[in-house]
Amino acid sequence: MHAEDLFAQITDQLIADIETGAAGQWRMPWHTLADAGTPTSVDGRPYRGANALWLAMVATARNWTSGTWATYRAWQRHGAQVRRGEKATQVILWKPVTPKPTDTNDDDTASDRTPRPQLLARAYAVFAAEQCDGAEEIIARRTHDLARRDTPERIADAEDYFAAIAATVIEGGNRACYQPATDTIHLPALEAFDTAAHYYGTRAHETVHWTGHHSRLARDLTGRFGTDSYAAEELVAELGAAMWCAQAGLSAVTRTDHAAYLAGWLRILRTDARALITVASRAQAAVDHLNTLAGHHTSDTNADDDEAAA
């Protein structure tokens, strides 16, 4: 499968899942990522960006809970065997490619003559632990980890995480938002939320917005409500919060105000098959930035020993 075809497949499925969620209880596709935990390779390294979202969506649709994926050869190296007839899931591999130098005039500088490295996308195949014989221990271990979601220890870890980030948070009122003009996060008090996990999921959403400030990751935060740029930034925050919840072991936040953004999200996704890749990349960069500020170590690789994906 060509990478562009995979972009279209992932986007089409995301659109369908958004529309299904909108017709039900506002469970968006990225909630599956938070609830299932970050997908990892059989070596324990996390998948990132759009790949993490896509693998969580596939696993949820098939009721797979292991969250563990690898190529055919990697499963063999770990003593497991993909069963005959199992269908692979395609994910995105970004490979750095340096173009060949082109002829230039003598007046050109050395920097002009040196091609800049580029990232080339291609698809490659992985299988879930549930598709393998000999992977039972891996499935059982993941099931045990998911049973520890939303425990007091996870909540305490979330509290410590945000305490280490020097964002200005003003608590009170009944509205959660980030205000770029004052660079402040506004949140209702913890007691106003139905669960502590809901509070920290909401805080993650607003703190992802906070990373977009011009002094940090410098995303476009100037869009007005109803514009594509506004909807795109809101989708970055939604995906980023889901990625953070998945890493933190906390349940996803279901927000009924998704209705206000639904048309914009669908318009963006239908217009450009690469839009999801861009948004997911920005969301992952936001979470990476927060992890750095919080002193939370994350792997910079994203697949098994055969491949690495973005």
User: What span, in angstroms and rounded, lies between the C-alpha atoms of 72 and 248?
Assistant: 29
- Given this model, what pLDDT does residue 25 score? 61
- Given this model, what pLDDT does residue 302 score? 47
User: What span, in angstroms and rounded, lies between the C-alpha atoms of 196 and 159?
Assistant: 10
User: What span, in angstroms and rounded, lies between the C-alpha atoms of 37 and 291?
Assistant: 17
- Report pTM: 0.87
* Tens-level pLDDT at each residue, the chain (310 residues): 788 889 899 999 999 988 887 666 667 888 888 878 899 999 889 999 999 999 999 999 999 989 999 999 999 999 999 999 999 999 998 877 777 666 555 555 555 566 676 778 889 999 999 999 999 988 887 777 777 777 899 999 999 999 999 999 999 999 999 999 999 999 999 999 999 999 999 999 999 999 999 999 999 999 998 899 999 999 999 999 999 999 999 987 776 666 678 888 999 999 998 999 999 999 999 999 999 999 987 654 444 444 443 3
Structure token pair of residue 52: 């993490």
Burial class of residue 216 in the structure, from the number of CB atoms within 10 Å of its CB (0-12 exposed, 13-18 middle, 19+ buried): middle
- Given this model, what pLDDT does residue 275 score? 93
